[in-house]
């Protein structure tokens, strides 16, 4: 019997794509909100509308933003800064981060969420339930930016026109953030195709599921596999299903740390082959499909060019169920080893539509 594969979770480069020129960085919603808040506060305090403002990033670096508009009416000052996400495919690129500032008669900064900023409805996000989805670092940035201008008490309302529509393209609803986008950012800078943010969102999704008291996490490699997983396990709440992408190892670490009990992994043959070979971070820049592993399962795959080619060979020869079940079993062994047996684990392989289970560690799952 061959030795089990070495478990590996390679690092991903900061950008997952190679371009002939450097990708342009952008600004987070948190940084833009802090700039809008400072601009509105300057107008409220001085009566003069600034055309630009300077704010501090968490690193201490100071950056300047153009103010698209700043008006005052009935004791409230409102300013808008337009988000530039650089070359990142961000759904909030072009969003109009808006701050409305008024005196509140007290001390300090009272920070509220307005139109287009989501409301937190579930535990597990590190934010108060019922409050605005303004994360801790952006919250601090906004308060610091306002405090640079005035020491009197002010009320700051952050809003994002059209934020509710933007949020439909995010995972906010599943995380229990309703009615709009989140005001995000840890460095203040958007790095194009940021794998760090993707990894963080996967980990956060697992945390939210655990915070709801769920003991089962279903990891899916993408949108198509998630649809298949939901059809396979229709009784599980939506929060249990996480599009893990390449970050299986990170998701498993959180699931174990949060005391979850059961894991179901649903994927197509390519990602499953990488996992079966012991690779827990499966991006194409850091791992490749081991055709030798597939050939060890059944020699007919030895001449395959890709995992999909192996799948087609097995399918044509009537071997898909037997070979696929063995592949799923090998993945289950790797996942159990990685979690040191902390999670009851099952694995299912779906076809290329994502909707049909063709092999699994539980025979009754196969269509």
Choose the most confident range, by mean pLDDT, from 10-19, 23-32, 124-133, 355-364: 355-364
Report residue 333 CA to chain centroid gap. Answer: 27
Mean pLDDT of 192-215: 83
- What's the pLDDT score for residue 13? 47
Mean pLDDT of 206-218: 96
Name the nearest CA neighbour of 212 among 262, 170, 173, 260.
Answer: 260
- Cβ atoms 63, 130 nearer than 8 A: no
Instruction: Tell the CATH superfamily of the 26-190 domain.
Output: CbiD-like (3.30.2110.10)
Q: Is the pLDDT of residue 87 over 80?
A: no
Name the nearest CA neighbour of 160 among 142, 181, 178.
Answer: 181
User: Cα–Cα distance between 113 and 132 in angstroms, integer?
Assistant: 5
User: Cα–Cα distance between 318 and 99 in angstroms, integer?
Assistant: 63
Q: Is the pLDDT of residue 27 over 80?
A: yes
Burial (CB count within 10 angstroms: exposed 0-12, middle 13-18, buried 19+), residue 97: buried
Residue with tokens 């799923």: 328
Mean pLDDT of 180-188: 84
Mean pLDDT of 246-250: 88
Tokens found for residue 23: 């990708």
Lowest mean pLDDT among 76-90, 94-108, 150-164, 340-354: 76-90
Count Cα neighbours of 184 within 13 Å in the Cβ-side half-sphere: 21
Reduced to 3 states (helix: H, G, I; strand: E, B; else coil), residue 8 is strand
Burial (CB count within 10 angstroms: exposed 0-12, middle 13-18, buried 19+), residue 243: buried
What are the residue ranges spanned by the domains of the chain? 26-190, 195-365
Q: Is the pLDDT of residue 14 over 50?
A: no
Percent of the chain with pLDDT strictly greater than 70 = 89
Q: Is the pLDDT of residue 246 over 60?
A: yes
- What's the pLDDT score for residue 94? 92
pLDDT band at 196 (very low <50, low <70, confident <90, very high): low
- Cβ atoms 45, 153 nearer than 8 A: no
- What's the pLDDT score for residue 16? 44
Helices in 6-135 by DSSP H: which ranges?
29-46
Mean pLDDT of 178-205: 78
Name the nearest CA neighbour of 217 among 199, 195, 201, 233.
Answer: 233
Residue with more model confidence, 26 or 156 = 156
Q: Is the pLDDT of residue 21 over 90?
A: no
- What average pLDDT does the chain have? 89
- What's the pLDDT score for residue 187? 77
Mean pLDDT of 317-327: 97
Mean pLDDT of 37-66: 95
Name the nearest CA neighbour of 195 among 82, 287, 263, 282.
Answer: 282
Per the confidence metrics, is the pTM higher than 0.85? no
Residue with more model confidence, 350 or 2 = 350
Mean pLDDT of 215-225: 93
Backbone angles phi, psi at 348, to 5 degrees: -130, 140
Mean pLDDT of 216-223: 93
């Amino acid at each position: 019997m061959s030795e089990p594969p070495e478990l590996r979770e390679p690092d991903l480069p900061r950008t997952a794509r190679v371009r002939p020129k450097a990708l342009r960085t952008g600004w987070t919603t948190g940084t833009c909100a802090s700039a809008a808040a400072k601009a509105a506060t300057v107008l409220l305090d001085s009566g003069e509308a600034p055309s630009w403002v300077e704010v501090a990033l968490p690193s201490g670096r100071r950056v300047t933003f153009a103010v698209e508009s700043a008006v005052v009416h009935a004791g409230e000052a409102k300013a808008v800064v337009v988000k530039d996400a650089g070359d990142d495919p961000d759904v909030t690129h072009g969003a109009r981060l808006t701050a409305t500032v008024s005196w509140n008669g007290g001390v300090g900064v009272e920070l509220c969420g307005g139109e287009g900023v989501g409301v937190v409805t579930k535990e597990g996000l590190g934010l108060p339930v019922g409050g605005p989805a303004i994360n801790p670092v952006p919250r601090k940035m906004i308060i610091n930016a306002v405090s640079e201008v005035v020491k009197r008490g002010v009320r700051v309302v952050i809003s994002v026109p059209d934020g509710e529509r933007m949020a439909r393209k995010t995972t906010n609803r599943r995380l229990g953030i309703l009615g709009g986008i989140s005001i995000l950012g840890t460095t203040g800078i958007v790095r194009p195709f940021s794998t760090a943010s993707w990894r963080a969102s996967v980990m956060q999704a697992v945390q939210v599921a655990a915070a709801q008291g769920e003991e089962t996490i279903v990891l899916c490699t993408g949108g198509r596999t998630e649809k298949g997983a939901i059809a396979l396990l229709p009784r599980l709440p939506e929060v249990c299903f996480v599009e893990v992408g390449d970050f299986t190892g990170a998701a498993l670490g959180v699931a174990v740390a949060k005391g979850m009990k059961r894991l179901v992994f649903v994927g197509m043959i390519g990602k499953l082959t990488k996992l079966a070979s012991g690779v827990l971070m499966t991006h194409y820049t850091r791992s490749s499909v081991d055709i030798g592993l597939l050939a060890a399962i059944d020699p007919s795959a030895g001449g395959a060019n890709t995992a999909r080619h192996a799948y087609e060979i097995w399918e044509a020869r009537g071997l898909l169920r037997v070979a696929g079940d063995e592949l799923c079993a090998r993945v289950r062994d790797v996942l159990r080893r990685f979690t040191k047996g902390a999670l009851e684990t099952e694995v299912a392989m779906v076809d290329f539509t994502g909707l049909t289970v063709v092999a699994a560690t539980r025979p009754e799952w196969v269509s």
